Amino acid sequence: MGAQQRVFKQKIRSTQSLRKIFKAMELIAASRIQKAIARSQAASPYANALTRAVSAVASESNVDHVLTTESDNVKRAAVLVMGPDRGFAGAYSANLLREAEELVRLLQGEGKHVELFTVGGKAKNYYTFRDRKIEKSWTGISENPTAEVAREIGEALLENFDPESEDSGVDEIYIVFTKFVSSVTHDPEYRRLLPLEVVDADEATTGGQSAGSTDAPAFPLYEFEPSAEAVLDALLPRYIDSRILSALLSASASEQASRQAAMKTATDNADDLIKTYTRLANTARQAEITQELTEIVGGADALAASAAGD
């Protein structure tokens, strides 16, 4: 076998090995998408019921709660960026981080100091590489978020939320995540988490309209015990946790969908490379055969000429 053939054969074997990895990752991602979608749908009834309860308290009482009251002088904002832990997902991480950077520039343009919180190794590495301070990060959870992790994140954000303080705490909290629409559509977006804009039940996972909207459902009259403020104190942290968990689940499904699409493209590209290398190897083999035949014929002619001269 000639040198060129050996090179192409080696490339073919290497590409075939990579193709097996890409195909396996594509199948794994496809199976995990369905699981992530199922988890998101299973969490919806609880999120909807909790949203209706919070909306009822917010709309039927005149309590000025710290989590629902707009600050007159916003100086600091926290941004929670929900990224993936692993790569091989195409432009998923790049699009999400671009959206996060757009939000940060917008807030800084309004004269606000931004504090960063991250989910996933990609977001953490992105800001660490650029020497950007991260207040707190969570890794190893992007593909399988749990209610416990969402509660931990919610508690960490609430600890930093203190609009009445002049020296510490933040006045606003935003989340940046990728909204899962379908297996081929998943869009990065950001939303304000605090001060709270209570959404309608049908928009519990997409962050829609406020409780004062004309499209909000009509609630019966309620009496709150021990008080409306105490009910809000109990409900709002759980409501925030459910919003964070919903965003994490949506981001998880989006990550797997992006990874499946990227690995499908990589598999197709590997197939094309194998075909190209096979064709080049065959061409090299034919050239070597032609060269060998030419050398044989040339040698035979030389021998015949030598014999004729003798």
Report pLDDT digits (tens) over 67-81.
777 777 788 899 999
Question: Do residues 251 and 149 lie in contact, with contact meaning Cβ atoms separated by under 8 Å?
Answer: no
Residue type at 43? Answer: A
pTM for this entry: 0.79
Report pLDDT digits (tens) over 242-274.
889 989 998 998 999 999 999 999 999 999 999
What is the pairing mode between strands 76-82 and 134-138?
unpaired
Say what the alpha-carbon torsion angle 9, 14, 20, 25 is, to the nearest 10 degrees: -160
Q: What is the DSSP letter of 202?
A: G
Question: What band does 176 get if pLDDT is binned at 50, 70 and 90?
Answer: very high
Question: What band does 196 get if pLDDT is binned at 50, 70 and 90?
Answer: confident
User: What is the rounded CA–CA span in Å between residue 70 and residue 65?
Assistant: 10
Compute the half-sphere exposure of residue 83: CA atoms within 13 Å on the CB side of its CA.
Answer: 30
Region at 90 (left for phi over 0; alpha for psi -120 to 50; beta for the rest): left
Question: What band does 136 get if pLDDT is binned at 50, 70 and 90?
Answer: very high
β-partners of residue 172 are 77
User: What is the rounded CA–CA span in Å between residue 89 and residue 141?
Assistant: 16
Total residue count of the chain as it appears in this document: 310
Provide the pLDDT for residue 213: 42
